[in-house]
């Protein structure tokens, strides 16, 4: 038997496949399709301190090998999230990682303090990489000093593992990753969406209401694999790979590049069972190649 269990800052996962924030709701929408307990972990959609309506439509546009979105962090706010969405997961054993977003440092700190009291929350993922909001959030992910500040602020409010989700829309992601580690982050998720744009040639207007949006899907996978490898070489904390993962082969690429675990995002829209099938595929790969543990291939790309 091949061992596909992994450990992220003390958080033990039965397999290395999570679902990415913003692509799986808070889990309950997918219970007709999969057993949530078969996931490595469930990462919730970003939650903010107060309810957010998000951006006006159109907010999604399909592109070759991917999709653009400008959802704008639509969510019911932390109070409603805890009462309804988190409560709905009480009957499941899957680790729950709550993704948080704020406009100010104080909001991130307050969110972390609230979630620290929730037993059902296994870890916190800090979103400093959403390109679809006018203020806050991404400003913390492009400035290394701000990255350190937000990680330190959150860490002071919680004993739970703290993961930070980085944006690819920077000059050098290694610098921001190192700043996150210096701030005390327990792990790094990379990458979030790549800033993109699509124009309707007949109306001559952008196809998204906000003009630009975040590009996800297979189109960004080579960028994500490269950045995961760069981060892996720059820090000592675990890296969680994200970006265009549609199959177990894709996931294994990220693991060879240095990811301890992966998150499946856009793939969930095409195949609700994608994450479960990918975990099974990773195990089959290890068995076929006579590899005892997934840990034996983390970062083992032959360069």
Q: Is 236 exposed, middle or buried (0-12, 13-18, 19+ CB in 10 A)?
A: exposed
Q: Which two structure tokens, joined as six digits, stand for 76? A: 């019911």
Phi-psi map region of 85: left, alpha, beta (phi>0 left; psi -120 to 50 alpha): alpha
| Closest-CA residue to 91 (of 46, 35, 47) | 35
Out of 130, 164, 235, 282, the active site residue is 130
| Residue 39 contacts residue 275 (beta carbons within 8 Å) | yes
| Cα–Cα distance for residue pair 267/128, rounded to 1 Å | 22
Angstrom CA distances, 201 to 45, 68, 71, stand at 33, 17, 23
| 137 flagged as catalytic | no
Q: Dihedrals φ, ψ of 107, to 5°? A: -70, -45
112 CB-near residues (< 8 Å, 6+ apart)? 100, 124, 153, 154, 157, 158, 162
The residues that are catalytic are 130
């Amino acid at each position: 038997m091949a061992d596909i269990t992994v450990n992220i800052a003390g958080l033990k996962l039965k397999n290395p496949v999570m679902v990415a924030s913003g692509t799986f709701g808070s889990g309950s929408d997918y219970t007709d399709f999969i057993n949530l307990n078969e996931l490595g972990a469930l990462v919730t959609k970003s939650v903010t301190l107060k309810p957010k309506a998000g951006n006006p439509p159109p907010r999604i546009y399909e592109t070759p090998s991917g999709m653009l979105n400008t959802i704008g962090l639509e969510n019911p706010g932390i109070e409603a999230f805890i009462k309804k969405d988190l409560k709905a997961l009480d009957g499941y054993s899957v680790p729950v990682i709550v993704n948080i977003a704020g406009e100010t440092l104080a909001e991130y700190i307050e969110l972390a303090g609230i979630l620290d009291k929730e037993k059902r929350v296994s870890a916190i993922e800090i979103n400093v990489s959403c390109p679809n909001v006018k203020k806050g959030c991404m400003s913390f992910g492009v400035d290394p000093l701000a990255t350190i500040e937000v990680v330190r602020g959150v860490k002071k409010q919680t004993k739970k593992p703290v993961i930070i989700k980085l944006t690819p829309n920077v000059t050098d992601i290694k610098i921001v990753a190192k700043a996150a580690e210096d701030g005390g982050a327990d792990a790094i998720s990379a990458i979030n969406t790549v800033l993109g744009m699509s124009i309707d040639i007949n109306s001559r207007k952008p196809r998204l209401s906000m003009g630009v949006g975040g590009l996800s899907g297979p189109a960004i996978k080579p960028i994500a694999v490269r950045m995961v490898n760069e981060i892996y070489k720059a820090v000592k904390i675990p890296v969680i790979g994200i970006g265009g993962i549609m199959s177990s082969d894709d996931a294994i690429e990220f693991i060879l590049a240095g990811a301890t675990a992966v998150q499946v995002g856009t793939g969930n829209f095409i195949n609700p069972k994608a994450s479960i099938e990918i975990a099974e595929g990773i195990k089959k790969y290890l068995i076929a190649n006579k590899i005892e543990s997934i840990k034996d291939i983390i970062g083992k790309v032959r360069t």
